[in-house]
Amino acid sequence: MSTTQSERLRGLLEPLVSAERLDLEQIEVTRAGRRRVLRIVVDSEEGVELDTCAELSRAISQKLDETDAMGEGEYVLEVSSPGADRPLTEHRHYVRATGRLARLRLHEGGELVARILAVDEDGLDLEVPGVKGRRPTARRIAFDEIAKARVEIEFNRKDKKEEEA
E strand segments, the chain: 23-32, 35-43, 75-80, 101-106, 111-119, 123-128, 137-142, 146-151
Q: What SS3 class is residue 164?
A: helix
Q: Using 50, 70 and 90 to split pLDDT, how confident is the model at 109?
A: confident
Stretch 41-52: mean pLDDT = 86
How high is the pLDDT of residue 161? 45
Rounded to an integer, what distance in angstroms lies between the CA atom of residue 78 and that of residue 94? 25
pTM for the model? 0.68
The pLDDT tens digits of the residues spanning 7-36 come to 889 899 999 999 989 989 889 888 888 888
How high is the pLDDT of residue 117? 95
Stretch 127-150: mean pLDDT = 91
Rounded to an integer, what distance in angstroms lies between the CA atom of residue 99 and that of residue 102? 9
How high is the pLDDT of residue 134? 87
The pLDDT tens digits of the residues spanning 59-78 come to 999 999 888 888 777 889 99
Burial class (CB in 10 A: 0-12, 13-18, 19+), 17: buried
The count of other CB atoms within 10 Å of the CB of residue 57 is 15
